[in-house]
Structure 1
Amino acid sequence: MSKPKISFLSQGEIEDIHNTSLQVLANTGVKVESKKALAILKEAGAKVDYEKHHVTIPRNLVEEALNRAPKTIKYAARNPKYDFMLDKKEPHFCAHGGSPFALDWESGKSRYLTASDVARCYSREVRWGI
């Protein structure tokens, strides 16, 4: 039995998006509110303006981070029998109602999601939802 395959973009289109994203990060930059994240980015080699909470991230820094990122991710179920590995080889689909928890970026601890967390996900600065 063959596995389903789906492709929305050509390899060239993917590379164009990647290269344009790298240019935006290096030239335009991003706004980062977390003081801890600003310090980590500065230490890693990004140009940081603490007063404006603005960061520009050079291409090599992004590429190093991508190379260090895991190639597969284990999704662990409560029952290990239902664990699965997510990789680039196969598509995975699932229903998702959202997590009741959030990772607090300042403390590094998991906590229950608040209404303001959800509102931040739908703010002008953020373009995705939970």
Structure 2
Amino acid sequence: MSKPKTFRPWTPGQTSLMPPSPIDWLPSDHLVFFLLELVEELDFGLIMSPARQKDARGEKGYDPRMLTLLLLYAYCIGMASSRKIERACHEDAAFRVLTGNQQPDHSRISDFRRRHLGALEELFVQIL
């Protein structure tokens, strides 16, 4: 009599003893790492200035640099829909690394894009 077929243990709730960093899930030459290095070389003045002038009370907003890189990365991979970008921030390791595991909702992404369209155009030209 032959031995019954066995399988690798499957425990979807625990893939490792310690939670890994999402950074470890991406290859070292991934576009996200290039963008994260690029953030120090870009002039975000047109985007940061209005953000700093807002009333400090209330909920803290997302870092405008993160939202800018989020849009840039999404455009680089052919994703323009703010709803799809929001979903990717929950489900895609590259988006999670880029956002520092923050998940802005689609309305915040869309509002940010609309409010800073001119400044975003200038930043994208800087990158090219």
Please, what TM-score do these two structures have when normalized by structure 1? 0.26
Q: Compare CA radii of gyration and give the structure with the larger one.
A: 2
Higher strand proportion (structure 1 or 2): 1
Higher helix proportion (structure 1 or 2): 2
Please, what TM-score do these two structures have when normalized by structure 2? 0.26
